[in-house]
A and B are shown apart, each in its own frame.
Chain A
Amino acid sequence: MDLLSTYIIHQADNALILGHRNSEWTGHGPILEQDIAISNIALDLIGQARNFYQLAAKRLNKITPGLDTTEDDLAYLRDTNEFRNLILVEQTNGDWAKTILRQYYFSSYQYLIYREQVNSRDTDIASISEKSIKETRYHLRWSSEWVLRLGDGTEESHERMIEALKMLSPWIAEMFLPSDFDYEAFELGAGPLPDTIKEEWFEQVNRLLEKATLPALPTDKKQMQTLSGKNGVHSEELDLLLSEMQVLQRTYPGNSW
C-alpha cells in the first residue's frame, strides 16, 4: 500500500478501534446519561473512520484499477498486523477512569492533528478534518470534565485516576513519533508531523492534570522510542478485539443485515 493511503488508514484505524472500545460500554455505563454519552462518542468516531476508509478505498481503487475495495473490506477483512492504529486506542476499557483518561489523551491529540489538517493540500483530508474537528472538540470537553471530576473528586476516584495514569503512560509517546507515512504526508502537504504537536499536547494536558490535583506527566523522561501500533505491531488486545469485531463478516462474507 502506498504511504499516503497508509496515512489515511492510520487515522481511520485510530477512530474505528477507539470507537469500538467505547461501544463496549453500551448498556454497561455507570449511569444512563454517560452510557448514552460514550455511545454517541463511539458513533462520532466510527463515522469519522468511515469517512477516512471511504477516502482510502477511493484512492486505492484509483491506483489499482479493478481492485474494487470498499470501506467494509478495509475495516473487516484486514488482519491485526495490517492495522495502523496507536497502541493507546486498543487498550482495554478498564474502569471509567481509564476510559475517560484514554479519551482525553486521544481527543487532545486528534484535535491538534485535525487543526493542522484543515489546511491539508489534499482537499478530501481537509474536508474530513474540517467536519470532524467539531465533534472532537466535544469529546475533548466531555473528557476534560471527567478528568477534573474524578481527579479532584473523592479519595477513591482520585486513586483510580492515579492508577489510570500509570496504566496509560507507556502509550503516550507513540502519538508523537513519526512513521514513514507521516513523513510522506508531511512532504505532500497532506498532514502535520506528529512531533510538532507534542509540546502543545503536554502543556495542555499537564495544565488540566494540575487543576485536577493529579501529578503532571513527565516530559523529559525517556519514553518508548519505538513505533509499534503505527507499524502494525500490536498488543494481543487488538487480536481479541478484531476477532469479535470481524467474526460475522469473515464467517458470512458479503452479507448485510
Chain B
Amino acid sequence: MNKEEIISILSQVKDPEIPVLSISDLGILRNVEISGEKIHIQITPTYSGCPAMETIREDIRTVLAIHGLKNLVIEEVLSPAWTTDWMSVEGKKKLVSYGIAAPVANGCLLSGDDQPESCPHCHSKNIELISRFGSTACKALYRCLNCQEPFDYFKCH
C-alpha cells in the first residue's frame, strides 16, 4: 500500500465532536511516511487540552487495522502550531451545512476580534456573541437575532 492510499484511508477518521469533518479537512493529519513495513503518521493537536486527540489516535489505529495495517507509529508534532488556516475550503463548507459557523478566512494566526460571517442557519448577519467558549474550547457560542437560533462558531486560531 502506498502513501496516497493510506492518506485516503485516514480521511475516513472523523473529528469525534464534529463528525462531518475528517482529520484531513481539519489539518490535524500532517504527514504519512512509509519506511519498509512501518508506517509513520504525524498528527498535530488543535488546542493543547483537546480531549478528542485520544479518540482520534485510537480511530487512526482502528481504521488502519481494518486494512491489515498494524505496524504504525503515531507522532504528535507541536510545531508549526496548528491553525484554522489549515482547514480546507471543503471543510469550512461542511461546517456551515452542519450548523457551525466557519472560522473567517486567512490570517487566523494573528487575528484580533474575529466574528463569524453570518448565521449558519439563516445566513443573517444580525448575530451576537453569547460566550467566548462553547461546547468545546475551539468554539464560541453565538445567537442569531434574526432566526433566534443559537449556533457554535469555530474560532479563528
Contact = CB atoms under 8 A, between A and B. Distances in A.
A47 B47 contact: yes
A13 to B, nearest CB: 15
Given A44-B47, A45-B49, A130 B137 contact: no
A135 to B, nearest CB: 6
Nearest to A141: B132
Contacts of B81: 127, 130-131, 134
Tell me the interface secondary structure of chain B in the complex: loop
Given A40-B136, A142-B133, A126 B141 contact: no
Interface stretch (A29-37, A83-91, A163-171, A191-199): A29-37
Interface string A209-226: 000000000000000000
Contact of B49 (A43, A127, A138, A141): A43
A51 interface: yes
Interface centre among B109, B133, B155 (most CB of A within 10 A): B133
B48 A132 contact: yes
A36 B131 contact: yes
Interface in A110-124: 123-124
B51 A43 contact: yes
Interface in B99-157: 109, 130-137, 141, 155, 157
Chain A interface category by residue count: 20 to 34
Contacts of A145: 132
Contacts of A41: 133, 137
A142 B132 contact: yes
A50 interface: yes
Nearest to A33: B131
Contact of A134 (B45, B79, B157): B157
Contacts of B141: 33
B131 A37 contact: yes
A128 interface: yes
Contacts of B134: 36
Interface of B: 45, 47-51, 78-83, 109, 130-137, 141, 155, 157
